[in-house]
Structures are given as structure tokens and as C-alpha cells.
Amino acid sequence: VHIHPYSGQFLFLIFPVLTAIEGTAHGEPCHFPFLFLDKEYDECTSDGREDGRMWCATTYDYKTDEKWGFCETEEEANKRRQMQEAEMMYQTGMKILNGSNKKSQKREAYRYLQKAASMNHTKALERVSYALLFGDYLTQNIQAAKEMFEKLTEEGSPKGQTALGFLYASGLGVNSSQAKALVYYTFGALGGNLIAHMVLGYRYWAGIGVLQSCESALTHYRLVANHVASDISLTGGSVVQRIRLPDEVENPGMNSGMLEEDLIQYYQFLAEKGDVQAQVGLGQLHLHGGRGVEQNHQRAFDYFNLAANAGNSHAMAFLGKMYSEGSDIVPQSNETALHYFKKAADMGNPVGQSGLGMAYLYGRGVQVNYDLALKYFQKAAEQGWVDGQLQLGSMYYNGIGVKRDYKQALKYFNLASQGGHILAFYNLAQMHASGTGVMRSCHTAVELFKNVCERGRWSERLMTAYNSYKDGDYNAAVIQYLLLAEQGYEVAQSNAAFILDQREATIVGENETYPRALLHWNRAASQGYTVARIKLGDYHFYGFGTDVDYETAFIHYRLASEQQHSAQAMFNLGYMHEKGLGIKQDIHLAKRFYDMAAEASPDAQVPVFLALCKLGVVYFLQYIRETNIRDMFTQLDMDQLLGPEWDLYLMTIIALLLGTVIAYRQRQHQDMPVPRPPGPRPAPPQQEGPPEQQPPQ
């Protein structure tokens, strides 16, 4: 504090504080003055050191405390102050980002993060670079993101290494190189990045860029699954919808699982009017999120409270879950949780019974009692509640309260997995991986671990990508789907391929669109998606992204027909048999596949009818050629007579005739006079039947 020589006002001057480095007081501020060998020092000194390095004490009397460190250079001090400022900017940005759902405030948060990133703050660089890549609250800029990823990679950031691997794998901003992608993914995994482990797990499982190795895939997937399983809460976490864009576009009326805003408002109206079922349903929806509704524990708690006060046991049980788990909204309380679990269990509710079992199993608010825990889990499991089945399986697996029985454990884990419980998949994977209670199967273990890994927090990006697509931001959507596709999500592979197939994204060059779509259709088909398998056939049939290859197209259609019983594939096989494309021409097999297509799907019946009509004409002409009057028709060539597309003309004529007949019948039905009821008669009326109605057209 100084006094201004003219005004007499107090001035508070802040001088840079030097920080000790290394020594016995690393990171502590230097203390000036400090006493050393009976001499006071007001600045750093080299006294007492043969190497001449400047040092300071961090307390007044060095002899008493021996707290010291080397003095920072001016450059080091400036760098430290810059990083302190960057950290402050980063913390401010993250506080705003996590504390608001408004886009305007999130954009403001990223302004702070960008300022921190400009000061080389590693975590801010990671945040901003991914935001630039995906276009999250910042204008999408792949080149700027790439430069940041390269900077992070030089500093050894696993996130930066993984992202750079993704860019090389997908050819975004760089020339595609699977070899470089593999190197960066490997470095990212060695640094502990879980997404890199997932990518490598999928690559070893599918043999992409590496030799296929189930054991290597198992190692990577198991590591990620361990983290996912440890993050699972009692309430189950959030729910993520897996929406397939090809199915949604092909069948607009199909239920994608998303709830319309009008429907949600209707349920809210019912809940406000006291409808208990609506209150419980909305409570569960807000507790877990999903189906287009954001997770909101406050709303979930309010709805459950309303329903519980009305005497609903399900709401009581879920209130018990929320109190047992604890959150920012509901304080953790074993006593309150136990109160609700008991009330629900006394009413026979399986959720309450399972919660009570957990309380006795782990001693939450009560003394540990394995017998009572087993009793309540059995009651819940008998009613089909997955948590009860899972915990019962765990007790048999670990021999807690019962004799260890792996067969019983396997039984209950299987039951819980049928209900979709993540930990059931995880436990089954562990059993198959180690051969505990079952024959060891690396393949089964990997598939189960993969299922668990795909339920991790990164799966939330599926909905982010879908929302980007619905908002018309196709570039952001396709990049997010491409990253998830690298992680092995089949739905992301098919969605990325679909966007590329529709040529909606502009970040991929015109000549690269179909080849990249073909790559992802192939990966999705390998995971059993029927539409992707048919698309592979189409791409080879028409030569999209590859050479025309009827034989390969035929193979893909046949696989879709035999393995997934696809009506579209059967129809295509019929056409190829009819025309002799990729297979020897066979009219009889063509008819057989057309008939199979009609049986497989009602939607195929009209096109099959038209195809069979055309096939009948072809068969008739073929028959005439082979009869005794062959000489009359030896010169008859339909291709020369009507042109190479004569079959399409014929089908069009048949379709027009069919439409004309249907329209005529409907018009005839409409023009018929409506029978009038009989008038009153002087004599008592006799019982008459209703006027005869026309059969439906």
C-alpha cells in the first residue's frame, strides 16, 4: 500500500508474486524478506549455492523451517500467470456450460473456453477442438480442429491423438490413411482414452486394418466395459434412442420411439388433473431421459411425489431409488429411501422389494441380513423385475447368503439381460470370458462386452447427431455418426452411409461419396442390418462406388433373403433370375422368388403381381417358341420389336389397366342408388332384414 505523493490517496499496487520451484516447497510463494544465515533478503539470492542458481525461502526463517525452492525466471513466472488466467477462464466456461441448457449461454461458455485455449490450456483445447469438429455451439471448422488436434498430440493428449486418428480414418481434412489412424488410435489407447480402446476393440473384432483377433478385441472391450459398469447408478442412468434414418425415411409413419411434443403436453395435462399413471410415466421419463425428453431429476421427483401421495406403490419405490442414490436435487438418505421401499414392498411392488433387498444386502439404514435380502430379491424376480433378477444372480455367483451356484447365476443373469439390464450383460460377458459356469467363448464375451460399451456416456452423441440431422445440419450429423461408426455402432454406420448415399453432406468430395457410403454399408451389413445388406447388392448392381458386378450383387441379395428373410431381396433375386443377371436365366426360379416376396411382406404383393403378369407374358412367348409352330416365331425378338426396355413398358401397361379396373369398380359402387327404407304400411309390418349391402371393393 502506497500513498500518492500529491493527492494523499491510498494506492493498492499488486506486484508479481514469485513462486518457488522444486526444493522443499514447490509451488509455494517466496517469502520476502526471509532470514538466511542471520541476513535478511528482499529478493532471490544465490548465496549458499555453488551452482549459482537463484533461490528463496517460503517462510521468514529458513533455519527454523527449511522451506525453500528455486526462483522462477521471468519467463517462467509469466507462463505460470498465463496458465492461472487460462485455468480461471476454463473454470468459468465449464461452470456456465454445465449450469445452463440455453444455447446462448453455452455459446458464451465457449467464448471463455476459446480464450483459455488460445493460452494453450490443454482441457480447453480439447473442448474447443471437438466443438469445432462437430459444430457444437461454434461454427464447424474441420481445418482449425485438425490444427488443434495436432497441437494436442504434440503435447501427448490422448484425446487429441484419438481425434487425429479419426480424421485419418475418415479422410476429413487430411488424406485418408488407415495406417496413421491405427498409430494414433494406439497412442490414444495407451494414454487411457476409452473411445480409442473401443475403436481398437471393434477393429480387432472385425479385422479392419489389422489381423482379426478375438482375444485382442476382448482386452480392449473388457477395459471399457469395466468403466461403463462402474458408472451405472441405482436409477439406471439415461436412456438413448437408436434411430435408424433409412427406416425412418422409408416408413415415415413408423414409430421411432420419440415422443411428439403434443403427446408430452397431453400427458402433462393428465398428470396435472391427477392421473396417477401419467404422473408415474412422466416421472420415469424425466428420471432416465430419452424418447426426446431431457433428463430432469427435479421434474421426476415432483411427479413421483404427486403419485406417491395418491398411494401409488411404483412412485414410492422410485422415490426410494432417488433417495438411495442421491443427487443435486434429492439429498442422499438411507432412512428416507428405506421408508419408501418398505411402503412399496408392503404393497407387493417388485421395485420396492428389490430396493429393500439392496438395503439388507449392503446394510443401508438397516443391519446386513442376507436371508432377508435373498427373500426380497426372490419376490422381485418372481414378478419379472430385472434388478431383482440381477441381484439374485449376483448372490448365487458370489455365494452370498446362499451356496455358490453358477448355473443359477447364469439363469438369473440371462433373465435380467432379456430385460436389457447393462450389468446383466456385463456379468454374462465376464462368465463367458473366463469360462465360469459355461464353456469359455471369446466370441460371445466380446459381443456382450461390446453391448455394454455401447451403453457408455458417449452414446448420448447418437441423439445429438440425430437432432443435427433433423435441424438440417447434415455435415455435423455425418461427422458425429462417422465417429460413432468408428467405435462400432451399427446404427451409426448405417446412418452415416445413408447421409452419404443421399448426398446431403458437403464435407465429402463428390467422387468420394459413394465409395465411403459403400464402406459403411458393408460394416453395417456385417453386423446384421438387412437394409445395409440390400444396399450392398444395389451398389454392386448399379455400380455405385464400385464396378458393376451382378454376381456379387446376387450374393448379397441371397444373404439378405436367407438370413433376414427380406422381401425386397427376394424380389430382386426373382428379377435377376428372370433376366439372367449374375445367374443363369430361370423363369421357374424367378416365379418362386416373386411368390416368396409376396408371402414375406404384404407391401410386396402389388409389385409382385405386376412382375408375375409380365413373367406370364415372357413364359407364354417362350412356350410358343418351343411348340410345333416354332417356325412362325423364330424371327420374333421382343428386344428388336419393342426395344430393350419392353418389359418396363409391359409392366406400365398392366399397372394402368389394373388401376383403370379398380377405379371403374369404385365409381360403379359409388353410382349405385342407395336403397330407401320401406314406407309405413296399414297392416302390421312383417319382420324384414336389412337391405343387402355390396361387398367391399
The predicted-structure confidence for 425-443, as pLDDT tens digits, reads as follows 999 999 999 999 999 999 9
- Say if residue 647's pLDDT is above 80: no
The predicted-structure confidence for 89-99, as pLDDT tens digits, reads as follows 999 999 998 88
CATH of 528-662, one of 3.40.50.10600, 1.10.10.10, 1.25.40.10, 3.30.450.20: 1.25.40.10
The predicted-structure confidence for 143-167, as pLDDT tens digits, reads as follows 999 999 999 999 999 999 999 999 9
Degrees, nearest 5: CA angle 389-392-393: 85
Q: Which of 16, 15, 18, 14 is nearest to 73 (CA)?
A: 18
- Say if residue 179's pLDDT is above 90: yes
292: alpha, beta or left? (left if phi > 0; alpha if psi -120 to 50) = left
- Say if residue 662's pLDDT is above 80: no
Q: What is the mean pLDDT of residues 255-265?
A: 66
Q: Are 368 and 358 in contact (CB under 8 A)?
A: no
Q: What is the mean pLDDT of residues 549-572?
A: 92
The predicted-structure confidence for 315-373, as pLDDT tens digits, reads as follows 999 999 999 888 888 889 999 999 999 999 999 999 999 999 999 999 988 999 999 99
Q: Are 361 and 391 in contact (CB under 8 A)?
A: yes
Alpha-carbon 499 to chain mean position: 17
Q: Is the CATH number 3.40.470.10 carried by domain 77-192?
A: no
Instruction: Delimit the CATH 1.25.40.10 region(s) of the chain.
Output: 77-192, 528-662
| Phi, psi dihedrals of residue 37, rounded to the nearest 5° | 55, 50
Q: Which of 311-315, 449-453, 661-665 has the lowest mean pLDDT?
A: 661-665
Q: What is the mean pLDDT of residues 554-576?
A: 92
pLDDT at res. 685: 38
| Selected residue with higher pLDDT from 232 and 639 | 232
List beta partners, residue 34.
41
- Say if residue 243's pLDDT is above 90: no
Rounded CA separation 654/650 (Å) = 6
Give, to the nearest 10 degrees, the angle between helix 194-206 and helix 158-170: 40
pLDDT at res. 683: 38
Q: Are 478 and 500 in contact (CB under 8 A)?
A: yes
- Say if residue 202's pLDDT is above 80: yes
The grid coordinates listed for 332 are 442422499
- Say if residue 631's pLDDT is above 80: no
- Say if residue 563's pLDDT is above 50: yes
pLDDT at res. 558: 95
Rounded CA separation 553/533 (Å) = 10
What is the residue whose three cell numbers read 501427448? 156
**pLDDT band (50, 70, 90) for residue 5:** very low
> What amino acid occupies position 540?
H
The predicted-structure confidence for 34-89, as pLDDT tens digits, reads as follows 999 989 999 999 998 888 889 999 999 998 889 999 987 777 778 878 888 999 99
Rounded CA separation 546/499 (Å) = 18
Average per-residue pLDDT in the chain?
85
